[in-house]
Structure 1
């Protein structure tokens, strides 16, 4: 991402899909190509705020909560919701990143970065996603490679 006039890209360690890259609906893959930030959720909330369906649950992630709900795919801290720009690749019927609910979001800090583990989203450390959230805005382009 290039968040300001310096055109200096931002780099953070991330975790992408366990199923690898891909754009198909229900594939569990991380879509590639040109996107933009369509919506942002969670500004001003505490780090480790838990989200379900883009709504804060009122919970703050902890190991106790993780043991209580081991089946949850944790979406924490901030949500940066992406929309594809390439018709037929990551936008449109059967491949739409926005309709697939592809986010950049926080994950438990115990989760490894650089290791594919997500169901399609881009997972980040909570402090990193909060920093990124404060540096981007709806409409900014994002390229996933």
Structure 2
């Protein structure tokens, strides 16, 4: 179980229930590339702590049940985490982008 982007030292079990929005497995913390849409100001994805992360609420996967995060089964986020180096562009949308994202400024 993660809280505040840090391991708590606890492992989730079914006895913990699924009512809480547990963050399980790993987090991929997102940072937007589009000023005014997901980067900067009140829409900034990074400052709003928008993640890809594992959840115990498997019954809600595929629905708009979070406050902005994309939730996956814990084993899926662990597998995805191992495939994604830091800085890898991630596109979330209904169709692939027409052009690659602009290079990220550091």
TM-score range, shorter chain: 0.7 to 0.9
- Cross-structure match for 1:33: none
Q: Which has the higher strand share?
A: 1
Task: Choose between structure 1 and 2: higher helix proportion.
Answer: 2
Instruction: Tell me the residue number matched to 1:134.
Output: 82
C-alpha contact (below 8 Å) 1:91/1:97 kept by paired residues: yes
Question: Is contact 1:77-1:129 (8 Å) kept?
Answer: yes
Distance 2:25 2:84 in 1: 15
Normalising by the residue count of structure 1, what TM-score does the alignment of the two structures yield?
A: 0.60
Partner residue, 1:54: 5
Structure 1, residues 90-124: CA drift from partner, whole Å, max 9, x if none?
Answer: 00011100000000000016433222211110000
Aligned residues: 93
RMSD: 1.5
What is the aligned partner in structure 1 of residue 52 from structure 2?
104
How many angstroms apart in 2 are the aligned matches of 1:56 and 1:107? 14
Stretches of structure 1 that go unaligned for 5 or more consecutive residues are 1-49
Contact 1:79 1:105 in 2 (8 A): yes
Partner Cα separation in structure 1 for residue 2 and residue 59 of structure 2:
17
Tell me the distance in 2 between the aligned counterparts of 1:139 and 1:105. Answer: 17
TM value normalised by structure 2 = 0.81
Matches within 5 A, 1:1-145: 50-66=1-17, 70=19, 72-108=20-56, 110-145=58-93
